[in-house]
């Protein structure tokens, strides 16, 4: 293994900084920086100021940068004008925490047996703090490292609506990085994980208006169009009972994996805990039983889900025999690299119009998928760093979800590797009640991330 010479000292630091780290994490989690809704506007501002002060304390030139929504925070640390820049991204906002299953107060964090329990502890404040300590460690010992630009967002949990504009508006002074480092993902079982592919997303509503009022089905039925029946039949032509997408342009998307990706998938499949997946999914019936196929569907193939209708009757046991004049269906798609959100909307539009010209497709917004090839040198360094920090080599994983900032980074700074190093555990409860973060993961994370940043600076020394 390629342990750095400073590893013993780094291990010491990762241990000795824990009282300070814990105190800081408890302070951060006690700020209810919920981005959904408007209730926590002042808390988001307070969180931004806390994050700025934290970065400043460790030698960053840091400021709060306003956006049309809640602010971003930028901290710059230039160690050498000739050194490359790396951008570190985390988010300081959190999910709401109103679930009745909380056993403690979500914003009065509890420290219990090395675990911090509270909203935002693992998503994403703990992982963010580890990177700050990793950077502080390298800087304080004069160990080679890249220049670092930390960008914190406070709207990640609501889909990063203003992040693209933030990058555009501040591009003049932001540093153009060689690569982007993110710690906002999850271990695969007991294994460290590096996520190299994240799906994009597109939301649409299909609307069909056939009349102006409810009609009696005995007087008009059979003679007039029933928009709900038509829309259901169109939707059934978009996705079948096996979960397969039938729209030709989307079904034809290339989801094949190269040999390196095949190998990575087989490694994950070999340790995948199907029983846990079954339990976590509430025993949901599945489209596939083969683990490899399950992972292919979640990570590597596009999906289309129908979520709901308006203009339909909902009350169970009551049937009003009226034909509704108009109906809307909510549909979302998870996209793989190569599927452009705008092109997906056009494909759906022409598909539905070829069946019924009256159906309108409303674009509710989309984001592109993101992908860093497994052969990328930054991923190779991240793999070594995870092995050093977490004691075993990482698995390379996909993700069915989306981190809204990543496609924006890739739009503004194309071709930069995005490196996602996980510190959180599956059991931490992302977005769930009783969210927690194991401090030992933060401690190991500091070792992994400091090793990574040191190795990155080595990539640029001839
Ligand atoms: Zn997150």
Distance 123 CA to ligand 1 centre (A): 5
CATH code of the domain in which 82 resides: 3.40.630.10
462 pLDDT more than 70: no
Instruction: Answer yes or no: are the C-beta atoms of 86 and 453 closer than 8 Å.
Output: yes
Identify the pLDDT of residue 1: 59
- How far apart are the CA of 350 and the centre of ligand 1, in A? 35
Domain-embedded: residue 274: no
Task: Please check whether residue 105 lies inside any domain of the structure.
Answer: yes
Going from the Cα of 404 to the center of ligand 1, the distance in angstroms, rounded, reads 10
Q: Are residues 184 and 305 in the same domain?
A: no
User: How far apart, in whole angstroms, are the C-alpha atoms of residue 303 and residue 80?
Assistant: 46
From ligand 1's centre to the CA of 419, what distance in Å?
15
Same domain, 166 and 209: no
Domain membership flag for residue 282: no
The verdict on 60 and 77 lying in the same domain is: yes
| Residue 195 CA to ligand 1 centre (angstroms) | 14
218 and 311 assigned to the same domain: yes
Is 318 in the same domain as 391? no
Ligand 1 centroid–CA 180 distance in Å is 16
Distance 94 CA to ligand 1 centre (A): 7
Indicate whether 161 and 211 sit together in one domain: no
Taking alpha carbons only, the member of 70, 77, 34, 32 closest to residue 54 is: 77
Alpha carbon distance, N-terminus to C-terminus of the chain? 22
pLDDT, tens only, 203-212: 999 999 999 9
> Does 156 lie in the same domain as 30?
yes
Residue 280 has pLDDT above 90, yes or no: no
Q: How far is the CA of 119 from the centre of ligand 1 (A)?
A: 11
320 and 346 share a domain? yes
The pLDDT, as a whole number, for residue 2 is 76
Going from the Cα of 101 to the center of ligand 1, the distance in angstroms, rounded, reads 20
Residue 151 maps to a domain: yes
Q: 414, 453, 369, 430: which is closest to 167 by C-alpha?
A: 414
Domain-terminating residue out of 336, 367, 398:
367
Q: Across residues 362-386, what is the average pLDDT?
A: 96
Confidence band of 461 (pLDDT split at 50, 70, 90): confident
Å from CA of 118 to ligand 1 middle: 14
Q: Which of 367, 383, 400 is the last residue of a domain?
A: 367
Last residue of a domain, one of 348, 367, 386: 367
On whether residue 153 sits in a domain, the answer given is yes
Q: How many domains does the chain fold into?
A: 2
- Ligand 1 centroid to residue 201 C-alpha, Å: 16
Instruction: Look at residue 46 and tell me if it is in a domain.
Output: yes
pTM score > 0.85 for this model? yes
Residue numbers of the domain that contains 318: 200-255+301-367
Task: Compute the distance from residue 61 Cα to the ligand 1 centre, in Å.
Answer: 25
CA 157 to ligand 1 centroid distance, Å: 7
pLDDT in tens, 159-217: 899 999 999 999 999 999 999 999 999 999 899 999 999 999 999 999 999 999 999 99
State how far the Cα of 332 lies from the Cα of 372, in Å rounded to an integer.
24
Same domain, 139 and 217: no
Q: Give yes or no: residues 326 and 341 share one domain.
A: yes
State whether 116 and 154 are in the same domain.
Answer: yes
Cα(50) to ligand 1 centroid in Å equals 18
| Any domain includes 421 | yes
Q: What is the pLDDT of residue 226?
A: 98
CATH of the domain at 351: 3.30.70.360
Cβ atoms of 439 and 130 closer than 8 Å: no
Residue 286 in domain: no
Same domain, 68 and 98: yes
- Taking the C-alpha atoms of residue 288 and residue 219, their distance in angstroms, rounded to an integer, is 45
């Amino acid at each position: 293994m390629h342990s750095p010479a400073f590893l013993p000292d780094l291990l010491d630091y990762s241990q000795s900084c824990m009282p300070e780290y814990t105190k800081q994490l408890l302070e951060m989690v006690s700020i209810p920086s919920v981005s959904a809704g408007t209730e926590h506007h002042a808390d988001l501002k307070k969180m931004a100021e806390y994050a700025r002060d934290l970065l400043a304390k460790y030698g960053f030139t840091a400021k709060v940068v306003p956006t049309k929504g809640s602010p971003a925070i930028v901290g710059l640390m230039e160690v050498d004008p000739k050194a490359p820049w790396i951008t570190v991204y985390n988010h300081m906002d959190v999910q709401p925490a109103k679930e009745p299953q909380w056993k403690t107060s979500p914003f009065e964090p509890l420290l219990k047996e090395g675990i911090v329990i509270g909203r935002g502890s693992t998503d994403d404040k703990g992982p963010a703090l580890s990177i700050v300590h990793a950077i502080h460690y390298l800087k304080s010992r004069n160990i080679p490292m890249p220049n670092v630009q930390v960008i914190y967002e406070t709207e990640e949990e609501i889909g990063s609506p203003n992040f693209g504009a933030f990058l555009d508006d501040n591009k003049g002074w932001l540093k153009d990085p060689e690569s982007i480092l993110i710690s906002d993902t999850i271990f695969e079982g007991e294994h460290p994980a590096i996520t190299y592919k994240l799906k994009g997303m597109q939301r649409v509503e299909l609307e069909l208006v056939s009349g102006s009022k409810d009609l009696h089905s005995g007087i008009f039925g059979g003679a007039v169009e029933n928009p709900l029946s038509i829309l259901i039949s169109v939707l059934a032509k978009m996705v079948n009972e096996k979960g397969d997408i039938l729209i030709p342009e989307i079904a034809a998307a290339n989801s094949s994996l190269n040999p390196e990706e095949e190998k990575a998938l087989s490694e994950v499949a070999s340790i995948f805990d199907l029983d846990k997946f079954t339990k976590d999914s509430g025993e949901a019936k599945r489209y596939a039983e083969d683990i490899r196929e399950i992972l292919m569907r979640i990570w590597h193939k596009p999906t289309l889900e129908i979520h709901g209708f308006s203009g339909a009757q909902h009350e169970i046991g009551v049937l009003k025999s009226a034909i509704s004049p108009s109906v809307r269906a909510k549909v979302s798609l998870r996209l793989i690299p190569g599927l452009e959100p705008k092109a997906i909307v056009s494909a759906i539009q022409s598909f539905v119009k070829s069946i019924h010209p009256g159906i309108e497709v409303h674009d509710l917004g989309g984001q592109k998928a993101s992908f860093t090839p497994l052969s990328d040198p930054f991923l190779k360094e991240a793999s070594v760093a995870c092995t050093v920090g977490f004691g075993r080599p990482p698995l390379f994983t996909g993700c069915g979800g989306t981190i809204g900032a990543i496609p924006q980074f890739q739009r503004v700074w194309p071709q930069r590797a995005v490196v996602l190093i996980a510190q959180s555990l599956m059991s931490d409860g992302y977005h769930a009640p009783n969210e927690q973060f194991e401090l030992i993961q933060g401690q190991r994370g500091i070792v992994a991330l400091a090793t990574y940043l040191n190795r990155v600076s080595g990539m640029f020394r001839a």
